[in-house]
Amino acid sequence: MDLIFIIGAGNAQITSNPIINLAIVYLPLALLILYGQKLQTWLITNDLSKTVGRLKEMRDKSRQETIDHITEGIDNKEETIKRLDSFLEYFTIMPVDLDPAGVINKLDHIMTSRDMRMKSEIKQLFPDLDELKANSVENVIEIATSFNFVYKIVRHFYLVGKKTNNFILLAQLQMIIPFLMLQADALNQAMTTFKKNQPVGDAIGPMIVGKLMLQHEKHDIAVDTVYAESDISGRKAILVTAKGPAGTVGQPGNAVQELIQKENPSLLIMIDAALRLEGEKTGEVAEGIGAAIGGIGVDKFKIEEAATNNNIPVYAIVIKQTLVEAISIMTKDIAESVDSVHDIINRIIDERTKPNDKVIIVGVGNTIGVIQ
Amino acid sequence: MSLPIMGAPDKKQKKLTVYTIEECINCKKPTKREFKDGDLVHKILDKCKDCDNNIMISLIYGEEIKKKKN
């Protein structure tokens, strides 16, 4: 066939035969206009089906790893696996917030009940476990539950989109999938770390304060939370953190509330891991003002309220890291920030308080793998 | 096939090896070794050979193994 290419102003011909030109140029154009979205939907569905499959694999792997971890040296494996599967389906119903007054107390009550129930059921299921292993089991079950939840939500929207042939729904799901997969990868890495009781990036707060607590007498102040008294530059330093080396965040809100009432400090310093922005360096230390504490908001509320009512300034020191780094093995950059944060604490105390003042220093985070 | 409309996460996962840093409480001499089960930050271990004070685990962290160039 004699092919002639003529590219002129708005006049593109592929062959000399106008009928064939029409078929080659305009037919696919018309098909794309009419069925383009269907083609795109098919491509997205295909892509999502692979992702859902990958998430299912990860979910099954996390379930199996959890089973292997918790049934180690246990005779009645079948009963344990049955209970584990019911744990994976546990849910928490958030309190109604149509009338927001008092919602924090309700939230506190629900979250405390949830934690207590989980702890007591694990204790019932494995009465001979020591505290460290029981906490490790609890953390590993929570990771497997999160995996199960992420998988089920993604699968739900994928199936609804596919069933209703909803391009917009599928496209939206495809857009957030990279972020969900990042979280799934983070959970995957967290599983190994929590099983071995290794410190995670989030443990940097308890590690910094824990080092100051060494060789001082520790006292229980709230559930899974301890405090110790020390002397820093002639000031009474009251050091608060979750009780390690088990994987717990404790109840810093209750602890700070009680200590503020009891000690009437002149300053509150909070140290925590903070999510870094892209472009920022992991392990970078930053100072600021306000309650440096994440979570659902109950502890933050209690600390802010106690500090405001007693007119106590709240200083924050944060150690930057990504979400993945916060829940997987602590990296060298994060671990090596301990000494620089100690220098900042000393400087703040010297500059902002007078001798004989009282200062509360709180190390916020999951204290897994860290002894105080 | 995926549509390149929103990018994708970095698939190059860093492989970290976990190390334990032991340090004498007195002479601060650090020793680096691979992590063993049961290692915990601030755990007291043996006595220091040089000054007979306690050795403590000061840090546990993951570090990327750098491939040696031939």
pLDDT by residue (tens digit) across A153-204? 999 999 999 999 899 999 999 999 988 988 888 888 889 899 999 999 999 9
Q: Are residues A270 and A338 in the same domain?
A: yes
Query: Closest residue of A to B43, CA-based?
Result: A371
Rounded CA-CA distance A348/A231 in Å is 14
The pLDDT value given to residue A18: 82
Whether residue B11 is contained in a domain is answered as no
Query: Closest residue of B to A51, CA-based?
Result: B2
Q: Name the more confident of A287 and A135.
A: A287
**Number of structural domains chain B divides into:** 1
Whether residue B3 is contained in a domain is answered as no
Whether residue A104 is contained in a domain is answered as yes
Residue B5 touches chain A, beta carbons under 8 Å = yes
Whether residue A233 is contained in a domain is answered as yes
Whether residue B29 is contained in a domain is answered as yes
Q: State the residue range of the domain holding B43.
A: 16-64
Rounded CA-CA distance A339/A329 in Å is 19
Domain boundary, last residue among A195, A219, A251: A195
Does B61 sit within 8 Å of A332, measured CB to CB? yes
The pLDDT value given to residue A72: 79
Q: State the residue range of the domain holding A235.
A: 201-363
Whether residue B37 is contained in a domain is answered as yes
A371 CA: distance to closest CA in chain B (Å): 5
Provide, as residue numbers in chain A, all residues whose Cβ is less than 8 Å from the Cβ of B41.
Answer: 199, 203, 207, 210, 245, 369-371
B20 CA: distance to closest CA in chain A (Å): 10
Provide, as residue numbers in chain B, all residues whose Cβ is less than 8 Å from the Cβ of A247.
Answer: none
Residue B7 touches chain A, beta carbons under 8 Å = yes
Does A334 sit within 8 Å of B3, measured CB to CB? no
Q: Are residues A166 and A118 in the same domain?
A: yes
Q: How confident is the model at residue A132 (pLDDT cuts 50, 70, 90)?
A: confident
**Res A17 pLDDT > 90:** no
Computed over its alpha carbons, how large is the radius of gyration of chain A? 28
Residue A205 touches chain B, beta carbons under 8 Å = no
Whether residue B49 is contained in a domain is answered as yes
**Nearest residue, CB atoms, B9 vs list A175, A178, A207:** A178
Domain harbouring A237, CATH code: 3.40.50.1470
Which residue of A200, A226, A332 is the best one to mutate when testing the B interface, meaning the one whose CB has the most B CBs within 10 A? A332
Which residue of A239, A331, A342 is the best one to mutate when testing the B interface, meaning the one whose CB has the most B CBs within 10 A? A331
Q: How confident is the model at residue A13 (pLDDT cuts 50, 70, 90)?
A: low
A248 CA: distance to closest CA in chain B (Å): 15
A330 CA: distance to closest CA in chain B (Å): 5
Query: What kind and span of H or E run contains B20?
Result: strand B16-24
Rounded CA-CA distance B32/A336 in Å is 14
**Res A45 pLDDT > 60:** yes
**Nearest residue, CB atoms, B41 vs list A46, A199, A332:** A199
Torsion angle of C-alpha atoms A307, A308, A313, A316, degrees rounded to 10 = 70
The pLDDT value given to residue A245: 93
Residue A372 touches chain B, beta carbons under 8 Å = yes
Residue A214 touches chain B, beta carbons under 8 Å = yes
Q: Are residues A276 and A296 in the same domain?
A: yes
Q: Are residues A98 and A152 in the same domain?
A: yes
Domain boundary, last residue among A157, A177, A195: A195
For residue A146, the Cα-to-chain-centroid distance in whole angstroms is 10
The pLDDT value given to residue B11: 55
Q: Are residues A117 and A248 in the same domain?
A: no
Whether residue B59 is contained in a domain is answered as yes
Name the E strands within A121-266.
Answer: 218-222, 225-232, 235-242
Residue A334 touches chain B, beta carbons under 8 Å = yes
Q: Are residues A279 and A152 in the same domain?
A: no
Q: Are residues A138 and A216 in the same domain?
A: no
Q: Are residues A155 and A233 in the same domain?
A: no
The pLDDT value given to residue B68: 60
Whether residue B70 is contained in a domain is answered as no
Beta bridge partners of A3: A15
Whether residue A279 is contained in a domain is answered as yes
What ipTM was reported for this prediction?
0.82
The pLDDT value given to residue B12: 59
Residue B27 touches chain A, beta carbons under 8 Å = no
Size of interface A-B (CB pairs under 8 A): 78
Whether residue A238 is contained in a domain is answered as yes
**Res A8 pLDDT > 90:** no
Task: Please choose, from the candidates A31, A211, A243, A322, the residue with its C-alpha nearest in 3D space to the C-alpha of residue B10.
Answer: A322
DSSP A297: S
Does B2 sit within 8 Å of A371, measured CB to CB? no
Query: Closest residue of B to A330, CA-based?
Result: B61
Type of residue numbered A349: I
**Number of structural domains chain A divides into:** 3
**Res A2 pLDDT > 70:** no
Q: Are residues A211 and A358 in the same domain?
A: yes
Whether residue B7 is contained in a domain is answered as no
The pLDDT value given to residue B70: 53
Q: Are residues A257 and A349 in the same domain?
A: yes
Phi-psi region of A356 (alpha: psi -120 to 50; beta: other; left: phi over 0): left
Does B9 sit within 8 Å of A181, measured CB to CB? yes
Over residues B9-29, the mean pLDDT reads: 81
Rounded CA-CA distance A183/A55 in Å is 11
Whether residue A281 is contained in a domain is answered as yes
Does B59 sit within 8 Å of A336, measured CB to CB? yes
Whether residue A372 is contained in a domain is answered as no
Residue B11 touches chain A, beta carbons under 8 Å = no
Whether residue A160 is contained in a domain is answered as yes
